[in-house]
Chain A
């Protein structure tokens, strides 16, 4: 095909590339000497040693060839000599998409290992941005970007759901610490701290909001959360869309300024921290007038200033730390989490390599939202799994929500006996606040029968799992019925009209996603709440590929009792008074 028959999208990509070329970018595009030294710094290469197409320089060359052909004289005059080439068809753009999104998590490990200073991750991000600008992207990326543009956060959390969750978590906190003043303040003006979070916390991990609130309360902080502009994540970093990146960052900065906050505290999220703290001011061309810090810094400061007291013996299991790529390699946050861990954990052990040399959790770069590459992602996770296994730790701590999901998936895939948690959870657990809270086991009593009067169908084909879920739910007062396959779940749901159906996604018989669709299509089951409990990482698409009626909850196996009850209560909107 000749150049004059190039597709419209291909032409746009080429033209826009010219506008995206900064001096830094051009340096990385012309600077590679093909020495191959970065090759084995990439987890994709290490997990697929036979396939040279995973090598960072090879992937970079797929992008570089276009640059050389159109913007560099050597490539224009001697294309064959320097392997320059153009793109002509949409199919070629699709191939480029599979490289830019499917074969690289933009973890920057190769960038820091290149003696020439070639920053491939930044080049790859540019390629993603070009593809996104012509609509060539994984489906999940399209959905998440749309939500962040339109709803204001990347998980499509509505304002009322967000505020309801904060209110609910406030009540939990008041209950736990027996202090009616222990509330999560919203839209308070002139506070010392404005706290911004990841929407995943609202949807799937509200406990981390409650834990952070408990720490702020214990420290006597003057803080608030915003009713809008509270999402510190930024899908622009993953999609390469600087406009989205700038708009999201600006929304957050303007909110903090509107509230007159003195300090923006960013909850534990690697890409959120990098986007908000490091990239956002550049994308938005915004000179930020307040201080910004990670909640890790905040918690450490509280301990250093004696505002909170911690007891490390409360976290006695052996713990290791996974450095998020964005925190360590792009923002230099490496020592603070360790300092904090040493204060709140009795047995902290390093993972090797660590800090800026750590391997990606394999869920970075938005990979968790790209279900079409799940198999490839899990194969590449072999390297991380080995790293984790060698620590002998029972708990892996990470300061990133993406990493939590990425690690959870690989731990299950590689059958590691570990659980994933965050610093905020460990600090909350280690908090010493006895003198302010009389030790009355009243909460326990209230929680025992919290599900009384609720009818729940548990659908799972693993007898152990059924017994476990049934007993936990019954212990909390629920009436539980069980189904061992999708059809039985369907039949029981129709007949019993339960309040909730917990649905495993790997049961024999009909594809369970089909059962899910049927359930959602039944008008008489319109009110049925469904909580997915799955051991299949590829089912994350139910979270990211937006459907009209997504599941009301999503839990990864293995599920802990507290996590299960919390999720069920959130779905059924049961508050403890």
Chain B
């Protein structure tokens, strides 16, 4: 392994991780500076106030495609979402496995599994780029950050796919590209829309709490009529 690759896999990643952590802390502090509005709800005919249930339902929403019309109606998109995010998890995992537990990659089925997940995620990334560029509705809501983040992730998946076997026999360029992109990501993510996962727990927490208080969440489908 060259010094440059070693530096990219270790020191560079660690610096980038610390930077990302710092920016995230600042970002969360910034969000918490805004006061949360209170939810007062008087007693009603039904005891519909179930904030905890609402919060849990709201958080779990993403794993229940049947619970939201937008997922139910667009199962193809929902499938893409799942694969894409599995690809992100696998690629992040890879960025730790290669420097800190490379022996895991001697396991053939694991390598295959990672390559399949990341490869399909890369393909989904391409589909998403095409959708964002070709649909007038998507173009209307897209910013340069949206295009850039998506393309960057798709390219990152591509190099992650190549990096999975951790094989330098044909050169180091693919591993180098993967780790340089990973480091860039760590620095760029807090400033981009990719940081959405940081806000997700907050937005869904508050929506769930409010909807739970009001008896909207969990949504009623008709099978569970409430007692008066």
Q: Is chain B found bound to chain A in the same assembly?
A: yes
A74 at the interface (CB under 8 A from B): yes
**Closest B-chain residue to A39, C-beta based?**
B137
Chain B nearest CB from A277 CB (Å) reads: 7
Contacts A291-B45, A334-B220; A118 near B203 (Cβ below 8 A): yes
With the chains together, A287 CA to B37 CA distance in Å? 15
- Would you give the shortest CB distance from B138 to chain A, in whole angstroms? 5
Cβ of B202 within 8 Å of any chain A Cβ, yes or no, is yes
Does B221 touch A at the CB level, under 8 Å? yes
Let me know if A304 and B228 touch, CB within 8 A. Answer: yes
Cβ of B219 under 8 Å from chain A = yes
Closest to B68 in A: A113
A444 to B13, CA, bound (A): 88
| Stretch in B99-107, B110-118, B139-147, B171-179 touching the partner | B139-147
Asked if A300 CB lies within 8 Å of chain B CBs, one says yes
On whether the beta carbons of B216 and A356 are closer than 8 Å, the reply is yes
User: Which residues of the other chain, B, contact A117 by a CB distance below 8 angstroms?
Assistant: 58, 61, 200, 203-204, 206-208
B216 contacts A23, CB within 8 Å? Answer: no
Q: Does A468 contact B (CB under 8 A)?
A: no
Q: Does A301 contact B (CB under 8 A)?
A: yes
Within 8 Å of chain B (Cβ to Cβ): is A329?
A: yes
Number of interface residues of B (CB under 8 A): 66
CB-contact partner of A40 in B34, B73, B206, under 8 A = B73
Selected from B30, B34, B70, B200, the residue in CB contact (under 8 A) with A37 is B70
Q: Are B216 and A281 in contact (CB under 8 A)?
A: no
Q: Which listed residue (B37, B69, B142) contacts A24, Cβ 8 A?
A: B37
Q: Quick one: closest A residue to B228, CB to CB?
A: A300
Is A33 in contact with chain B by the CB < 8 A criterion?
A: yes
Q: CB distance B139 to A21 under 8 Å? A: no
Interface residues of B in 173-228 (CB under 8 A from A): 191-193, 196, 199-200, 202-204, 206-208, 210-211, 214-217, 219-222, 224-226, 228
Instruction: Give the CA-CA distance A332 to B135 in the complex, in Å.
Output: 35
Q: B37-69, CB under 8 A of A: which get 1 and which 0?
A: 111111111101000000000100110000011
Q: Is the CB of B225 within 8 A of A339?
A: yes
- Pick from B61, B70, B193, B199: contact of A38, CB under 8 Å: B70
Is the beta-carbon distance between B44 and A291 smaller than 8 angstroms?
yes
The docked-state distance in angstroms from the alpha carbon of A278 to that of B48 is 12
**Is A135 at the interface (CB under 8 A from chain B)?**
no
Q: Would you give the shortest CB distance from A42 to chain B, in whole angstroms?
A: 11
B25 close to A (CB within 8 Å)? no
Known: A24-B206, A117-B204. A301 touches B228 (CB 8 A): yes
Q: Are A291 and B42 in contact (CB under 8 A)?
A: yes
Q: Is A391 an interface residue (CB 8 A)?
A: no
Please tell me if the beta carbons of A31 and B199 are within 8 angstroms of each other in the complex: yes
Is B220 within 8 A of A282, CB to CB?
no
A143 at the interface (CB under 8 A from B): no
Q: Is the CB of A82 within 8 A of B145?
A: yes
Q: CB-defined interface of A416-452 with B at 8 Å, one 1/0 digit per residue?
A: 0000000000000000000000000000000000000
Across the interface, which residues of B come within 8 angstroms of A105, CB to CB?
Answer: none
Alpha-carbon distance A24/B210, docked complex (angstroms): 10
Cβ of B32 under 8 Å from chain A: yes
Is B108 engaged at the interface, CB distance under 8 Å to the other chain? no
Contact check, B141 vs A336: say whether CB atoms are below 8 A apart. Answer: no
CB < 8 Å: which of A22, A52, A78 contacts B136? A52
* A331-B214 contact in complex given A36-B135, A117-B203, C-beta closer than 8 Å: yes
Are the C-beta atoms of A57 and B144 separated by less than 8 Å?
no
Q: How far is the CB of A62 from chain B (nearest CB, A)?
A: 11
Contact partner of B216 among A25, A285, A332, CB < 8 A? A332
B15-43 interface code vs A (CB 8 A; 1 in, 0 out)? 00000000000000011101111111111
In A7-41, which residues have CB < 8 Å from any B CB? 21-28, 30-41
Summed over the interface, the residue pairs from A and B with CB atoms below 8 Å come to a total of 195
In the bound assembly, the distance between CA atoms of A40 and B61 in angstroms comes to: 19
Q: Are B206 and A27 in contact (CB under 8 A)?
A: yes
In the complex, whether B77 has a CB less than 8 A from a CB of chain A is yes
Q: How far is the CB of B153 from chain A (nearest CB, A)?
A: 12
Q: Are B68 and A23 interface neighbours, CB within 8 A?
A: no
User: How far, in angstroms, from A38 to B70 measured CA to CA in the complex?
Assistant: 6
Write out the residue numbers on chain B whose beta carbons fall within 8 Å of the beta carbon of A22.
34-37
A317 within 8 A of B: no
Mark out the residues of chain A between 91 and 119 whose CB falls within 8 Å of any chain B CB in the assembled complex. 111-119
- A528→B138 CA distance, assembly (Å): 57
- Of A36, A80, A287, A294, the residue contacting B144 (CB under 8 A) is A80
Q: Is A221 an interface residue (CB 8 A)?
A: no
Are B68 and A31 in contact, with the CB atoms below 8 A? no
Q: Are A34 and B141 touching (Cβ within 8 A)?
A: yes
Is A491 an interface position by the 8 A CB rule?
A: no
CA distance A287 to B39 in the complex (A): 11
Given A115-B68, A304-B228, A338-B225, A81-B219 contact (CB < 8 Å): no
Chain B residues with Cβ under 8 A from A53's Cβ? 140
CA distance A74 to B30 in the complex (A): 12
Q: Inside 8 A of B211's CB, which chain A residues have their CB?
A: 332
Question: Does chain B have a CB within 8 A of A330?
Answer: yes
- Docked-complex contact B143 and A83, CB < 8 angstroms: yes
Alpha-carbon separation in the docked complex, A200 to B145 (Å): 49
Q: List residues of chain A with CB within 8 A of the CB of B222.
A: 334-335, 338, 350, 354-355
In the complex, the chain A residue whose C-beta lies closest to that of B74 is A37
Q: B45 contacts which of A37, A80, A301 (Cβ < 8 Å)? A: A301
A455 to nearest B CB, angstroms? Answer: 49
Do B141 and A293 touch (CB < 8 A)? no
Asked if A357 CB lies within 8 Å of chain B CBs, one says yes
**A residues within 8 A CB of B45?**
291, 293-294, 297-298, 301
Nearest Cβ on chain A to B111's Cβ, whole angstroms: 31
Lowest 7 A-B CB distances belong to which pairs?
Answer: A332-B215, A297-B45, A52-B140, A293-B45, A117-B203, A27-B203, A117-B204
Query: What are 7 A-B contacts with C-beta separation under 8 Å?
Result: A52-B141, A74-B192, A116-B196, A117-B203, A277-B41, A282-B40, A330-B216
Using a CB–CB distance below 8 Å, which chain A residues touch chain B?
21-28, 30-41, 45, 52-53, 55, 57-58, 61, 73-74, 78, 80-83, 111-119, 277-278, 281-282, 285-288, 290-294, 297-298, 300-301, 304, 328-336, 338-339, 350, 353-357
